[in-house]
Each structure stands twice: as C-alpha cells, then as structure tokens.
Amino acid sequence: MKYNIIIGIATVMLMNACGNGAPGYDASGNFEADEVMVSAQQNGQILDFSVQEGDRLTAGQTVGQIDVTIPTLQREQVQASINALKDKTHDPLPQTELVKRQLLVQEAQLQQQYRERKRTENLVKSDAATQKQLDDINALIDQLERQISVTRQQIKLNNANTSTQNRTILSEKAPLEKSLAQYAEQIRKGQIINPVNGVVLSRYALKGEMAATGKPLYKIANIDTLYLKAYITGDKLPGIKLGQTVTARIDQGEKNYKSYPGTITWISDKSEFTPKTIQTKNERANLVYAVKVRVKNDGYLKIGMYGEMLINNQNK
C-alpha cells in the first residue's frame, strides 16, 4: 500500500513537470526562401527553353527564346524608312517616285492588317484569341494609317517645294528612331533572361508552347541563404531586436540537433491573435509574433523544413 502511494506521488510529480516545463527552444517555425516567379515579357511561340527543375542558374543567364519574327520585320521596315530618308533629300524627282512606291507598300500592308483584324475579331468572339492580340493589330493599323498620311503629305510637299519637303522628311527621322528603339526592345524581351542566382524550384512552360506577356515560365530561389520564419511568444519579445545573433537548429537524428548561426532580419509588429482588452502576464505569453532569421545554408536546410530558434545561443 505504501509502495503504491509513493508510485502515485512520483507519477503526479512527473506529469506536473512535463505539463509546466518550458520547451527547449524560444521559437519554432519553417524555413523559407525569397522565391522569384519568372514570366514571359513577349508574346509568341517558345522556340527554345532549356530550364529544368533543380538547375542552378546565374543572374543574367539566357535560358530561352520566344519568337520575335514580327517585331524583327517591323524594325527592318522602320530602318529601311530611315535609310530612305537620306536618299529622298538629295534629288526631289527620284524622291517622288520612291515615296510613291513606299506608299503602295504601306497601303498593301494596311489592307493586309484590315483582313487580319477581321479574322482576329472572329477568333476573340470564339475565345480562340485574346483581346491583347486584337489591340496590337489595331495599334499597328493606326501606325500604318499615320505613316500613309505622312507619306502622302511627303509627295505633295515634294511637288510643291523641294526645300520644304526636305525639312519635312528630316523631321520624320526622330519619331522613326523612336519606333526603331521600341521594336528593338520588343526583340530584346523575346530573350528569356534569368534574373537571379538560384535553383529552379518549378517549371511551368515547355518548348513549343505559346507564351503570353506575364505568363509564368518558372520559379527560382536562392537557397544559399534561407529564412527561418518562427513564432515567438509575447513575453520573450522584449528580449530580441533586429540584427541580433541567434541560433537556429534542426533535428539530426532522434535526439540530436544541428545548429546554425542566424541573424534576426524581421520582427512582426502585430501578434497573430487578437489580444484581449485586459491581459495578465500569463495571457501575454499566449500571444505569438512572427520573426525571420537569416541562416546560411550548408546544403542540409530545405524549404519548408521545421526549425527552432534559440535566443543568445541558448542550448536548451
């Protein structure tokens, strides 16, 4: 009987010790990384895309190419117009014939775009094309109409006064050069350039698919440095500050831990739960605040892995 009483008392004491004992860490959470979603900057078919999940890429690396045939042809057309400006200012008679031939080409292009607009409008109605494609055609038509208007004006001015015509022709160079720069930028955006150093986490597109501006192509993150997003109780919040050195650790086996030096880079200014109007000291301990600890990754840390934080390198 006496033996059973002693066992009972010991059991109660053990349960109380377990129930009231503090955990061996100050905060816990999961590891995160700064993930970057890389999207297409141009419309067109993906001609080349070599990205694979798990690839380690460097910033500025070219990883793919989107078809830019249309802006390339448009750039060549504008460049030809700029080159023609120089020739048209020498002799007004040959210039007139040259401008007339250019007008015929522009009018033929305009008729082609009118037909293309009609076809695209039907595709939009059947959800086979996007409004963006239709808007691009309308913008091109507007540009061609302006070019035709300018070209016709050139012919009139050339017949009226050579010197006036030359000044008008030369004044067209600046807007044409702006158009040239615009098409060059569209061609540049056809290249898929990796923006940051890191490892590819997910791939969302394949070679041969159609890309659209803003469509995600792949997701990449620099996993050389991870962030432990942990949650600390309100009573321990006064003991930490930005830039403070702490210890982050992960499980290594059943009872052992692997520790890493870390730096607190962010502390939330709001608790995760709505506080009561009146709180006792024990109730304040139930409030948790999110913190981020920057940790250098030696390869063992993984995104989403559970981790713990110890203040002032406490080994608990």
Query: pLDDT of 14-38, one tens digit each?
Result: 333 344 445 688 999 999 999 999 9
Asked if 166 contacts 54 with a C-beta cutoff of 8 angstroms, the reply is: no
Choice among 16-25, 128-137, 151-160 with the minimum mean pLDDT = 16-25
Encode pLDDT of 224-240 as tens digits: 999 999 999 888 888 89
CA gyration radius, the chain: 34
Choice among 33-42, 55-64, 74-83, 152-161 with the minimum mean pLDDT = 152-161
What is the C-alpha separation between 5 and 226, in angstroms, rounded? 53
Which tokens go with 224?
A: 């050389």
What is the C-alpha separation between 175 and 78, in angstroms, rounded? 10
Q: Give the chain's mean pLDDT.
A: 82
What is the C-alpha separation between 149 and 138, in angstroms, rounded? 16
Tokens 């141009």 -> residue: 42
Query: What is the b/e burial string over 166-190, where b = at least 16 CB atoms within 10 angstroms of the residue's CB?
Result: bebbeebeeebeebbeebeebbebb
- Structure confidence at residue 167 (pLDDT): 66
What is the C-alpha separation between 127 and 67, in angstroms, rounded? 22
- Structure confidence at residue 91 (pLDDT): 54
Q: How confident is the model at residue 277 (pLDDT cuts 50, 70, 90)?
A: very low
What is the C-alpha separation between 295 and 225, in angstroms, rounded? 6
For the cut 50, the answer to whether the pLDDT of residue 1 exceeds it is: no
Q: How confident is the model at residue 263 (pLDDT cuts 50, 70, 90)?
A: very high
For the cut 90, the answer to whether the pLDDT of residue 296 exceeds it is: yes
What is the C-alpha separation between 141 and 177, in angstroms, rounded? 19
In terms of pLDDT, which residue wins out, 115 or 154?
115
Encode pLDDT of 189-234 as tens digits: 999 999 999 999 999 999 999 999 999 999 999 999 999 999 998 8
Domain residue spans of the chain: 69-188
Strand partners, 66: 46
- Structure confidence at residue 278 (pLDDT): 37
- Structure confidence at residue 10 (pLDDT): 35
What is the C-alpha separation between 56 and 62, in angstroms, rounded? 13
